[in-house]
Structure 1
Amino acid sequence: MQQANQNTGRINLDPDNAEDGLAQLVLTVIELLRQIVERHAMRRVEGGNLTEEQIEDLGVALMNLEEKMEELKNIFGLDAEDLNIDLGPLGKLM
């Protein structure tokens, strides 16, 4: 069910498959936000202001989020490249 056009990497907005394209778009946005949260978390850990317990909790939360993303990608038949859409002159999203 890969919805990214294999040649362009763009989301397929075919009206007959609108639900699939919407799932791809939503998961792309969620993946982008997940990566932003992960980078911010790493900066906080590297900043040295977190307790060991906070670092452990943060690590567990990030692992759980990544596992859920993998589960959702499997449900919708998408892979990581499907979520890396082409933004034209701006290049790839991720």
Structure 2
Amino acid sequence: MSEPVRTARMRIQADSEAMERDLSRLVLTLVELVRQLVERQAIRRMEQTDLTDEQIEVLGLTLMRLEEAMTEVCERFGLSPSELNLDLGPLGTLLPQE
């Protein structure tokens, strides 16, 4: 004899506000990771004197504005910068500790 087919669907009870906040947190974490990588790359290029003084100035202003924008967006979603550092369990945190 065959087993009866289950017709009941599993439903996930989720708070839409919590889901939106968690998704925002994930997106902002990825943006912060890329921002930090770009910043490190810029510092490395400055140390190697690959950039002109004008390029260094533009890059510095751009990175400052991006950091300010990240702070504003975090405030809008009620997140602190420390909340963007995801814990990856045995691997440690995603972002370096400052």
TM-score normalized by the length of structure 2: 0.79
- Higher radius of gyration, 1 or 2: 2
- The equivalent residue for 2:4 is none
Q: Which runs of 5+ in 2 are unaligned?
A: 1-12
Q: Which runs of 4+ in 1 moved over 2 A?
A: none
Larger RCO (alpha carbons 8 Å, 6+ apart): 1
Identity level (%)? 56
| Equivalenced residues, count | 81
Q: Does 1:46 align with 2:53?
A: no
Q: Does 1:72 align with 2:66?
A: no
Cα deviation, 1:22-53, whole Å, max 9, x if unaligned, reads 00000000001100000000001111121110
Alignment of 1:6-25 (within 5 A): 15-16=14-15, 17-25=18-26
Cα deviation, 1:35-89, whole Å, max 9, x if unaligned, reads 0000000001111121110110010110011010001011011111100110111
Amino acid at match of 1:15: A
TM-score normalized by the length of structure 1: 0.82
RMSD over equivalenced CA pairs, Å: 1.1
